[in-house]
């Protein structure tokens, strides 16, 4: 196992943990908004935080299941994008391009990391 592949997984692991902390902050602020101002219920932010925290720790520990977890948002966003494009007809071309770019990034990162699959363990 090369130190180069460890460094790549470490960077993505820390980035995912930073994302998890941002999602936890958004969830706590949403709780505050709900308690004090009768704001909307965005409780799905907690589940996104849990996903990001588990995937981030798994990437830091070089686990294969963490890489599999990284594919879940890309698959979900791809399904949502395809269904959205099939059901709507009046979307501007720039909006479609932004959505396709976002989905391609969420799918491309785990695909690039698949190159190091043999360095990971369950």
What is the model's pLDDT at position 21? 96
pLDDT of residue 111: 84
**pLDDT score at 105:** 83
Reading the chain (122 residues) residue by residue, the pLDDT tens digits are 567 888 888 898 999 999 999 999 999 999 999 889 988 888 888 998 999 999 999 989 988 899 888 888 888 888 888 887 777 777 777 887 888 888 888 888 888 888 888 888 88
DSSP letter (8 states) at residue 63: B
Contacts of 121 (CB under 8 A, 6+ apart): 62, 63, 64
Quote the pTM value. 0.77
Q: What is the predicted pLDDT for the residue at 17? A: 94
* pLDDT at residue 1 in the model: 53
Angle ∠(102,103,106) on CA atoms, nearest 5 = 90
């Amino acid at each position: 196992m090369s130190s180069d592949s460890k460094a790549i997984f470490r960077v993505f692991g820390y980035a995912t943990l930073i994302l998890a902390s941002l999602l936890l902050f958004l969830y706590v602020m949403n709780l505050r908004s709900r308690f004090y101002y009768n704001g909307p219920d965005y409780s799905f932010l907690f589940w996104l935080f849990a996903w990001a925290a588990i995937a981030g720790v798994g990437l830091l520990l070089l686990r294969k299941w963490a890489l599999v977890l990284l594919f879940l948002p890309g698959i979900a966003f791809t399904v949502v994008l395809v269904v959205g494009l099939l059901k709507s007809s009046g979307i501007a071309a720039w909006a479609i391009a932004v959505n396709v770019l976002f989905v391609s990034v969420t799918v491309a990162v785990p695909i690039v990391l698949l190159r190091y699959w043999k360095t990971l363990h369950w």
